[in-house]
Amino acid sequence: MYYLYLMRSPSGRTGFGICQDYFDRNKKYISHIGDLVQFSYIYGGTRAHAKKVERNIKQNLEDNRWTIDNWKTEWLDNLAIDDLKKYVDDLIERQHIKLELVRIDYDITQEK
Amino acid sequence: MVYALTYKPVQRLPNPMVSINPLKRGTGRIVSLQDRVDQLNKSAVWKKVVREWRSINKNLDSLRLPRISMERLGSLWIDEDIQRPMDELHCAKIADPSIYDPALMQCVQCIKTTSGIFISIDTQHTAAAFAALIDAGLMTGTTDWREIEFPFQYIETDNLAFARKAFGILNGKGKKRQSAYMQLRTSVFCIRIDGNRSDSYDVEVENKVKIAENNHCYPIEEKSRLSQHPGTFANIATFLTLNDNEVEIACKWHNTYFHYEPLHVSLFFIFKDICRSFKNFKVTITPKLLEDLAALVQDRFGDLQQYQESVTEAHRKWSTQRYGQADNWKDHAYACALLQLYVKLGGTEHIPAILLDQFDGIVDFFDDEITTVGG
């Protein structure tokens, strides 16, 4: 199982990424940021399909990608997280992508 | 075992490339140089280079522009410490009978010393081929290449270091080479704009492009912003290795099943190998096989780009186990691995054995979620 997560930075910027272990990935964000941070939406499915959606976001929303020091990050400017979720949901439905929503507003404290 | 994968149709949306395809026609515009200057003045990279000039307080001297005159070709000398040894094959290519035309000659580039000697700093092959063609008696209007007047572009200097650096600049990074796409565009526009069908290569290239376009597939320049649009591809060199029938089958397959995606270059490798092997072994590529393969790509990978990632990884693992170290990627693995995967998942259409023997066992190195039947 592979996962695609959508999240908000502490300042509200929309972000995304893929991982094999969302507990571990969430923990790393918390360590970097120094505060609890939630993955607003986590989709689970095959690795190939998770990577396909991530690539689609990077390519088709390229103009929104927050770029700093000539580095295109996996954060998006001027796009609310619910708009990104709608984009992903539409993509999954239209292209029959094998991903489904498995968690909402997740952080590692929920594992207890 | 039954092949359980079914292709799920995807709603077709209008493809913007139909109207913005740069190869559809020329712009019909001829612009002044002022237009280009204005464009540069607005450009960030140009502004940056101008700032660099200003920061080092350096000015250019227009008197250093080279001069051009018609000179006796026999007055040209070549300094072997500056230019490369002459490459006979390169001269032979220049003199290719299908393209060679004196009207396309460029000036020879040289320095002129104070003693009046012209020393070539570039284009020795152009000059040598031209002279040798006259020497062979192939040029009307002259029999002695030494006496014919040829356009020389030169600057007056005795500084051989300048000549040496100039050669490096003219043959190195200072020269912008024409991309494969620009060469293709030239061929296409010779036919579409100029209506000139005298060059069989241009006709052949334009026909392949037309077949691709009829299937909503579009060649574009590398790193073009058009690359996000469905059907676009930038690997021109691979595209041109396919014959018309292979282009038709590959592009039709893409347009039928993956019309919503840019075209991944693995498509061309896959269909070139499938078409040639099936033809050699007199096996028909059935519509069912084409749809079954689309179902496999859609269900297990999403698209061919993800297939490429997975098959590259599988090839690396397979070759490591078989040969003790990872072998370089082989393009034939695209088709072979896909068809072996098809058979493993229960595909029943007839596949020539030669495509199933090569890279034997590579399917076992895909992730389980890809190879699991009914997964």
Q: Does position B79 have pLDDT exceeding 60, yes or no?
A: yes
- Confidence bin at B122 (pLDDT 50/70/90): confident
Q: How many CB atoms lie within 10 A of CB B271?
A: 26
pLDDT for the residue A112: 63
Residue A4 sits at the chain B interface (C-beta within 8 Å): no
The kind and range of the H/E element at A42 are: strand A39-45
Residues 6+ apart with CB under 8 A from A70: none
pLDDT for the residue B178: 75
DSSP readout, B339-374?
HHHHHHTT--S---HHHHHTTTTGGGGS-HHHHSTT
Q: Are B3 and B292 in contact (CB under 8 A)?
A: yes
Q: Does position A92 have pLDDT exceeding 70, yes or no?
A: yes
> What does the mean pLDDT of chain A come to?
95
> What does the mean pLDDT of chain B come to?
91
Closest CA to B285 of B335, B329, B231: B335
pLDDT for the residue B237: 96
Please indicate whether, in this complex, the C-beta atoms of B306 and A97 are within 8 angstroms of each other: no
Q: Are B362 and B333 in contact (CB under 8 A)?
A: yes
How many distinct helices (H) and strands (E) make up chain A? 3, 6
Residue A47 sits at the chain B interface (C-beta within 8 Å): yes
| Exposure string for B122-132, b = 16+ CB within 10 A, e = fewer | bbbbbbbbbbb
Q: Does position A108 have pLDDT exceeding 90, yes or no?
A: yes
Please indicate whether, in this complex, the C-beta atoms of B369 and A46 are within 8 angstroms of each other: yes
The shortest C-alpha distance from B276 to chain A (Å) reads: 29
In three-state secondary structure terms, B172 is: coil
Residues of A with Cβ-Cβ distance to B370 under 8 angstroms: 46, 48
Residue B302 sits at the chain A interface (C-beta within 8 Å): yes
Residue B300 sits at the chain A interface (C-beta within 8 Å): yes
pLDDT tens for residues B210-251?
A: 999 999 999 999 989 899 999 999 999 999 999 999 999 999
Please indicate whether, in this complex, the C-beta atoms of B367 and A62 are within 8 angstroms of each other: no
Residues of A with Cβ-Cβ distance to B303 under 8 angstroms: 52
pLDDT for the residue B174: 53
**What is the C-alpha separation between B150 and A104, in angstroms, rounded?**
77
* Alpha carbon distances (Å) from B283 to B289, B339, B350: 12, 14, 7
Name which residue leads in pLDDT, B31 or B321: B321
- Confidence bin at B176 (pLDDT 50/70/90): low
pLDDT tens for residues B5-15?
A: 999 999 999 99
For the ranges B203-207, B224-228, B305-309, the lowest mean pLDDT is seen at B224-228
Q: How many CB atoms lie within 10 A of CB B64?
A: 9
**What is the C-alpha separation between B190 and B197, in angstroms, rounded?**
7
The DSSP secondary-structure symbol of B103 reads G
The shortest C-alpha distance from B43 to chain A (Å) reads: 17
pLDDT tens for residues A3-56?
A: 999 999 999 999 999 999 999 999 999 999 999 999 999 999 999 999 999 999
Sign of CA dihedral B355, B356, B359, B363: positive
Report the complex ipTM: 0.91
Taking residues B277-284, what's their average pLDDT?
A: 97
Residue A63 sits at the chain B interface (C-beta within 8 Å): no
Q: Which two tokens stand for residue B45?
A: 């990279």
Please indicate whether, in this complex, the C-beta atoms of A51 and B228 are within 8 angstroms of each other: no
B197 CA to centre of own chain:
21
Q: What percent of chain B has pLDDT over 90?
A: 66
**What is the C-alpha separation between B60 and B22, in angstroms, rounded?**
37
The DSSP secondary-structure symbol of B84 reads P
pLDDT for the residue B171: 66
Chain B residue nearest residue A50, CA to CA: B302
Helix B244-257 crosses helix B266-280 at what angle (to 10 degrees)? 120
Q: Which of B227, B260, B301 sits opposite A48 (nearest CB)?
A: B301
In three-state secondary structure terms, B270 is: helix
Q: Are B40 and B46 in contact (CB under 8 A)?
A: yes
The DSSP secondary-structure symbol of B58 reads -
Q: Which two tokens stand for residue B266?
A: 């693995």
Taking residues B32-37, what's their average pLDDT?
A: 90
Q: Which of A52, A60, A96 sits opposite B8 (nearest CB)?
A: A96
Q: Which two tokens stand for residue B25?
A: 């026609």
Residues of B with Cβ-Cβ distance to A48 under 8 angstroms: 300-302, 306-307, 309-310, 369-370
The DSSP secondary-structure symbol of A7 reads E
pLDDT for the residue B235: 97
Tally C-beta pairs within 8 A across A and B.
42
Please indicate whether, in this complex, the C-beta atoms of A49 and B303 are within 8 angstroms of each other: no
pLDDT for the residue B2: 82
pLDDT tens for residues A70-81?
A: 899 999 999 999
Q: Which of B224, B299, B306, B370 to mutate against chain A (most A CBs within 10 Å)?
A: B306
Residue B312 sits at the chain A interface (C-beta within 8 Å): no
Q: How many CB atoms lie within 10 A of CB A71?
A: 8
CATH topology of domain B62-171: 3.90.1530
Helix B304-323 crosses helix A47-60 at what angle (to 10 degrees)? 130
Q: Cite the DSSP H helix spans in chain A.
A: 22-33, 47-60, 81-94
Taking residues B274-285, what's their average pLDDT?
A: 97
Report the predicted TM-score, pTM, of the whole model to 2 decimal places.
Answer: 0.77
Residue B224 sits at the chain A interface (C-beta within 8 Å): no
DSSP readout, B201-253?
HHHHHHHHHHHHHHTT-EE--TT-GGGGSTTEE--HHHHTTS-HHHHHHHHHH
How many distinct helices (H) and strands (E) make up chain B? 16, 7
Segment B188-196 long-range contacts (CB within 8 Å, at least 24 positions apart):
B188/B23, B189/B23, B189/B26, B192/B23, B192/B25, B192/B26, B193/B25, B193/B26
Residues of B with Cβ-Cβ distance to A55 under 8 angstroms: 305
pLDDT for the residue B181: 92
pLDDT for the residue B172: 61
